[in-house]
Structure 1
Amino acid sequence: MKILDFFLVFLLTLVSSASATWKGQVVNKCSFPIWAKTTKQFDNNHDGKLDSPMVKVNADGGTYNAAYDPVYGDSEAGEAHGVTAKLEKEADATFTTGHVYQIEWTPYWYQDPNQPVVSADISVVDGNPFTSSPRKLEVLGTDGKLVNIEKCSPRTQGEPRANSVFCAANDKSCLYEWQKNHALQAYLDGIKSHECPPMNSDPKCSHPIECNVTMSGTVRFTLCA
């Protein structure tokens, strides 16, 4: 009986690990439409496709649900594969680098598969067409509410814990948007290139939201928040 119980627990662990589902959602509250697609890191459907078709997201409250889910896995073994929602202001099916905004998220585990973590960030490495619009990234639980902030890490060393990021309308990128070399840019510190250490402990470096979470939830990005 003990052996049977062991295998039942083992099978439940495998099922719970494989069924981790972290959805992505974009809400467009702007007065203009935007265009979106989803890109995955890993062809888990084995159909040769990494990019979804481009979709128009209507103005004044239109929503876009990411076409793919990330793959939950061991971060040390490289088994976790994230998903990126790509946004642009103009309808360009090629999503040419230079004017593409990105929302990225990956659920993973470290040492214990029953202790899931989600890492989420907003990125301007391929452009930022939305600097003039306020932007917000949130990590939500299955109840649709922000996850407990005590379960989240500080964005950079010495800062408060964070379960969301807000970027005000400006003519430049936000402090916490993922930058070239994962660092803050010249307009902030006068350094054009700045390498960031592991775990982004340098206060000059941008940092994703990272929270200890349940197996499911939603990473939600709101434009014109």
Structure 2
Amino acid sequence: MMNLTKIQMLPAREQVASILRSSILTGGISKGQSITLDSIGEQVGMSRTPVREAFQILANEGLIELRQNRCAIVKGISEEAIKDHYEMRILLETEAFRRACTHMNDQILEAIIQINKQGKRAKEAGDTQAYNIANQAFHMTIWEAAGSEKLKSFLSLLWNGLSMNRLVTAQEYAAISLAEHDQMVEKLIEKDYEGACHIMREHIIRSMNSTLSNFK
């Protein structure tokens, strides 16, 4: 594992919610499947408390139905629900990026550049887990720079990590994601903030289409 200790991370409950949300959105966990606090906690290496809180988050989103005995049933998800999820991300994350651009300075830009370099090192090392962490940090740094705790909170609840599909490997997907991050960084360096926001929007649209491809 590469040394990525200085980058930002979501709170534990939101990390678990993100992992489960991504698996449900991509069809990794199917409709009607039962999941338990203990089984999920064991798989993600966390205690029951953040897993229980993650279950509540996903129940509020309508993705799972809570049951007794510390378990939940995965509810069906439609293409329309997936589109709605990503359309909310498009609206909120492009707004966060727009706000971040109004606050852009050398310190913020350097932080984004350094995190992007960490993503490159992870990708070159073939370390998918490290790339997932760097990918999350890239987006979170932008949310933080937006200067809105409310916006950051909403985006944290929508985060679902890399939007994998069954047609590409994790390494191939990381390469696609990283190339788009590179384009955003280039636009920021050039102070083409409108161009950077446009690439972010297309980045999330591509993620949505990738997720939807799992349902075809």
**TM-score normalized with structure 1 length:** 0.24
**TM-score normalized with structure 2 length:** 0.24
Between the two structures, name the one with larger relative contact order (CA 8 Å, sep ≥ 6).
2
Q: Going by fraction, where is strand more abundant, 1 or 2?
A: 1
